Structures are given as structure tokens and as C-alpha cells.
């Protein structure tokens, strides 16, 4: 069983528990549910750097990344740097996050926030909306075409933008839908956990131009961003490069200044 399969199995059980803790009506009554969402797609199209900075405490491939710095410090630093978007991991078991992280982040910034989660159920999308997210992540590797269509259309009905993560051409074919706003190419091999930005470069030519393209994982320098921009990428999701530092916000500013 792959790590992704393990995560999805855990997520199925987790969602069952969540549905017992509170109802759809409970989520819809939350004040943030009525909030007008911000467009990540628009910010990426207008940005000169396209950096989407991520908050991530740990991962299956690297174990603990940074448990020392407070979430508030990270998000405030990203906000000061004026990143294009902020990604907040909410999976607890494998990444050390939770939905409270999302709520706190929303209080600290008006920048578009992605709920980075292993979404398999509409309930998680309602939860994302109720916690102040602007964008949801769908991972093509763990969803079939019908699931992607249904989940993405449901998200759009809530005025949430949809980011689809792919690793290869086969996954891309499932995602070419009007309900998808952004296609993200993950440079991490899910079998070996090795990262290579060549994966983004190789897939860039076959992603239709009507989708905003972002590159994810393994990006650590302004030079790599420059290379990827030449291949049509508008956004660059970066987590560990910033989170391994004592002051992630400072590192973001440094990279933005290097981009020029």
C-alpha cells in the first residue's frame, strides 16, 4: 500500500467522524461561510513573482519540518511579503495540521488561502468554506474523473476556486473541466518521493492555455522560478524551502527580491 492509499484510507474514516461531530447546517451558520472569497487565479495572473507560500509542520517524506515557529508568525510573515497565495495544510495525522490553522490564518491575512487537504467528500469542501478558504485542492491521483467533476462543480457552487494537482499526462486528462481554475504539476514522485522540476517542464506544453498553471514541490530558488515562468507557469507553491528556516517570511522576501 502506497503512502497516498494509506492517507486516503485514514481520510475516509476521519470524514465519517467529522459528520458525526457537526452537521452541514452547523457549517453553513458560521460567519465565514458568507464571506466573499478572493481569487487566487487573478492574483497569479497579475503577480510578478507568483509565489504561493505554504505552512507545513511535517510530511511523510521529511517527518518533522518545523514545529518551533508559531503559525501566527509564519502567516504574518507571508502576509508582509505579499505572496500571491498561502497554502495551509489541514491534515493532522501525516502533516500536523488542522482546520484551526485555517481559521487563524484567515484572521491574519486577506491573501487568498488554499485549504491543502486530501479531499474526497463534499463535506470537506463545506468545511473549507466555513473556515475561510478561497481555494480547495483536489488531487487527481486519488480521485476518478466523476469524483473530480462532482467535487469541483460543488466547490464552484460555493464560489471557491479549484486547484487540481497532477503528476502525469494520464491524470491531466481527467481534469480538463470548466469547473477547474488552476492546474498544479507536482514535481514529487509519489513512489520514490524524489523531486524534479523537469516534470513541470515536460507537462507544460500539453496543459491547455485556458488553465492557470502552477508548479509544486522541489522549488528552492529564483532561478528555478525564472525557468518555469518561461514554460508558462504563473504560480509556484513552495513549502519546505521556507518552513525549514527560522523566519519563513524573511526567506520569501529574499526570494521575491531575487526574482526582481
pLDDT in tens, 28-76: 999 999 999 999 999 999 999 999 999 999 988 778 998 889 999 999 9
Task: State the chain's mean pLDDT as an integer.
Answer: 96
Residue 191 has pLDDT above 90, yes or no: no
Query: Mean pLDDT throughout 154-183?
Result: 97
Residue 192 has pLDDT above 80, yes or no: no
- Residue 25 is among the residues annotated as catalytic for this protein: no
SS3 labels along 212-257: EEEEECCCCCHHHHHHHHCCCCCEEEECHHHHCCCCHHHHHHHHHH
For the chain, give every domain's residue range: 3-259
Give the percent of the chain with pLDDT over 90: 92
- Strand spans (E) along 81-168: 85-89, 113-116, 135-139, 161-166
Catalytic site residue from 11, 66, 84, 116: 116
Residue 190 has pLDDT above 80, yes or no: no
- Residue 54 is among the residues annotated as catalytic for this protein: yes
Q: What's the pTM? A: 0.96
pLDDT of residue 163: 98
- Residue 56 is among the residues annotated as catalytic for this protein: yes
**pLDDT class of 225 with cuts at 50, 70, 90:** very high
Residue 193 has pLDDT above 90, yes or no: no
**pLDDT class of 183 with cuts at 50, 70, 90:** very high
**pLDDT class of 259 with cuts at 50, 70, 90:** very high
Catalytic site residue from 47, 66, 186, 187: 186
pLDDT of residue 92: 95
Q: What is the pLDDT of residues 87-136, one digit of tens each?
A: 999 999 999 999 999 999 999 999 999 999 999 999 999 999 999 999 99
Rounded to whole angstroms, how far apart are CA atoms 234 and 61?
26
DSSP string computed for 38-98: P-HHHHHHH-SS-EEEEE-SEETTTEES-SSS-HHHHHHHHHHHT-SEEEEE--STTT---
- Residue 29 is among the residues annotated as catalytic for this protein: no
| Contact of 163 with 134, CB cutoff 8 Å | no
Catalytic site residue from 54, 161, 224, 251: 54
Q: Between 212 and 190, where is the model more confident? A: 212
pLDDT of residue 1: 80
Pairing of strands 63-64, 58-59: antiparallel
Please report, to the nearest 10 degrees, the dihedral formed by the alpha carbons of residues 37, 41, 42, 43 taken in order: 90
Helix axes 122-130, 3-21, angle to 10 degrees: 70
Give every CB contact of residue 65 below 8 A, 6+ residues apart in sequence: 56, 57, 58, 59, 239, 240, 243, 244
- Within 10 Å of residue 190's Cβ, how many Cβ atoms? 15
Catalytic site residue from 11, 56, 129, 174: 56
Q: Between 152 and 193, where is the model more confident? A: 152
pLDDT of residue 148: 98
pLDDT of residue 53: 98
Superfamily of structural domain 3-259: Aldolase class I (3.20.20.70)
Pairing of strands 135-139, 161-166: parallel
Catalytic site residue from 217, 224, 234, 240: 217
Q: Kindly state the cell numbers that stand for 89.
A: 495544510
Amino acid at each position: 500500500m502506497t503512502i497516498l492509499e494509506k492517507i486516503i484510507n485514514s481520510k475516509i474514516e476521519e470524514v465519517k467522524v467529522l459528520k458525526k461531530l457537526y452537521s452541514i447546517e452547523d457549517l453553513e451558520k458560521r460567519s465565514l461561510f458568507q464571506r466573499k472569497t478572493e481569487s487566487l487565479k487573478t492574483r497569479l495572473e497579475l503577480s510578478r513573482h507568483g509565489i504561493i507560500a505554504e505552512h507545513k509542520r511535517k510530511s511523510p517524506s521529511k517527518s518533522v519540518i518545523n514545529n518551533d515557529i508559531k503559525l501566527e508568525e509564519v502567516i504574518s510573515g507571508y502576509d508582509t511579503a505579499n505572496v500571491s497565495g498561502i497554502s495551509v495544510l489541514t491534515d493532522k495525522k501525516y502533516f500536523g495540521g488542522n482546520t484551526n490553522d485555517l481559521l487563524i490564518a484567515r484572521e491574519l491575512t486577506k491573501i487568498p488561502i488554499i485549504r491543502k487537504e486530501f479531499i474526497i467528500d463534499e463535506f470537506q469542501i463545506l468545511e473549507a468554506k466555513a473556515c475561510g478558504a478561497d481555494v480547495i485542492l483536489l488531487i487527481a491521483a486519488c480521485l476518478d474523473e466523476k469524483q473530480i467533476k462532482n467535487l469541483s462543480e460543488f466547490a464552484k457552487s460555493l464560489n471557491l476556486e479549484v486547484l487540481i494537482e497532477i503528476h502525469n499526462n494520464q491524470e491531466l486528462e481527467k481534469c480538463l473541466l470548466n469547473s477547474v481554475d488552476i492546474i498544479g504539476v507536482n514535481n514529487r514522485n509519489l513512489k520514490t518521493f524524489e523531486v524534479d522540476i523537469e516534470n513541470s517542464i515536460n507537462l507544460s506544453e500539453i496543459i491547455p492555455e485556458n488553465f492557470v498553471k502552477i508548479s509544486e514541490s522541489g522549488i528552492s530558488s529564483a532561478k528555478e522560478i525564472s525557468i518555469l515562468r518561461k514554460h508558462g507557469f504563473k504560480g509556484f507553491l513552495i513549502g519546505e524551502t521556507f518552513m525549514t528556516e527560522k523566519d519563513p517570511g524573511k526567506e520569501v522576501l529574499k526570494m521575491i527580491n531575487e526574482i526582481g
